[in-house]
Amino acid sequence: MPCSSRLIGHILALCTITLWGLTFVSTKVLLVDLLPVEVLFLRFCIGFVALFLIAPRFFAWQGWRFELLCMGAGLCGVTLYFLLENTALTYTYASNVGVIVSIAPFATALLAHFFVRGEGLSRLFFVGFLLAMSGVSLISFNGNVSLHLNPLGDILAAGAACIWAVYCTLMCYIAKAAQPMILCTRRVFWYGLLSIAPLLPFLGAHFALDTLMRPVILGNLLFLGLGGSALGYVAWNYCVRALGPVATSVYIYLIPVITVLASVLILHEKLTPLAVLGIALTLVGLVLSEWKSKKSKKE
C-alpha cells in the first residue's frame, strides 16, 4: 500500500473515531424517547439512503462468497454489535462497558493473526494494549476504584467487542474485491437492515411519527445516519483496506479520550488528574501499537 494511502488511512481513522466518540451524545439524547432498536434501524436506514443517493449504481455480481461476507459483516457490524452493546448498558455500568468494549483491538489482532495474511503479533503490541487498557480504565472509572461486576452485562459487552473484531476481519476480505468502498458499505448496510427488520416487532418498535418529527429527534437521527453511519462506516472501511484491521482497530482506544475531552469542552466537566494520566497512557499505548503495525508492514 502506498505511503500516501496509509497516511490518508491514519487521518481518516482519527477523524472517524472522533466522529463516533461524539455519536454517543446523540444516542443518549435519542434513547430518552426511542428504543435502542429504533435508533439502530433508523440510523442505518438513513445511512443506506444517503449512500445510494451519493452513488446510485451497483457493481457486478461478485459471487456467493462475496455476498456471504457482506451478509456476515452486516449481521456483525450493524445488528449484533449495537444490540449487544446497548443491551449491556441496561445490565451493567457504562464505565464497565466502556472498558470491556475497548478490548476490540486485541480481539481483532487475534483474529487477524490467524485469518489475515501479514497481520502478525509481537510483544510490543501487547505492551501497547496493556498501556492503552490501563488508560481507558482510568478514564472510564475516573477515580472510582470499586469495579462493579455484573456477569450478564459484562459478558454482553465482551461479546460486542468480539463481534466488532469479526466485522473488521470480514471487511478486510470484502475490501479485496477492489470495488468502490461506498458500494461495499451500502451492501453491508442492506444486509444489516435485513437482519434487524425481523426483530422489530419482538423488541417493541413502533416508530411514532410525531416523535420522529420533533427537531431534536430528527436532528440527532440525521447526525447518526449521515455522520455516524454513512460517512463513518465508509471511512472506517477504507481504513481497513488501507491499513489492515489491526492498525485501524487500535484507534478504538481513543473513544474514551474523545468522550472525556468533549465533556470538558462542551459540558464543562472537570478534568481530573486520573483522567489526564489515563489519556496519556492511552495515547502511548496507541502509538506503540501503531508503531508495531507500521514496522510489520515494512517487514
Residue 93's pLDDT is what?
A: 66
19: helix, strand or coil = helix
What is the b/e burial string over 2-25, where b = at least 16 CB atoms within 10 angstroms of the residue's CB?
Answer: eeeebebbbebbebbbbbbbbbbb
pTM of the model: 0.81
Closest CA to 272 of 282, 260, 258: 260
In sign, the C-alpha dihedral spanning 178, 179, 182, 186 is: negative
Most confidently predicted of 32-46, 51-65, 101-115: 32-46
- pLDDT (average), residues 153-178: 87
In sign, the C-alpha dihedral spanning 232, 238, 243, 246 is: positive
Residue 221's pLDDT is what?
A: 94
pLDDT in tens, 167-209: 999 998 898 877 888 999 999 999 999 999 998 998 888 898 8
CA 225 – CA 43 distance, rounded (Å) = 4
Count of structural domains within the chain: 1
Instruction: State the cell numbers at 82.
Output: 449495537
CA 24 – CA 259 distance, rounded (Å) = 8
Domain of residue 157, residue span: 3-298
pLDDT in tens, 21-55: 777 778 778 888 888 889 999 999 999 999 999 99
pLDDT in tens, 121-141: 677 777 888 888 787 777 766
Instruction: State the cell numbers at 226.
Output: 449521515
Where is average pLDDT lowest: 103-112, 198-207, 208-217?
A: 103-112
Residue 95's pLDDT is what?
A: 61
- pLDDT (average), residues 133-159: 69
CA 102 – CA 106 distance, rounded (Å) = 8
Question: What pLDDT band is residue 71 in, cutting at 50, 70 and 90?
Answer: very high
Q: Is the model's pLDDT at 298 over the cut of 60?
A: no
pLDDT in tens, 270-291: 777 877 888 788 888 877 776 6
Phi, psi of 56 (to 5 degrees): -80, 60
Cα diameter, the chain: 58
Residue 297's pLDDT is what?
A: 47
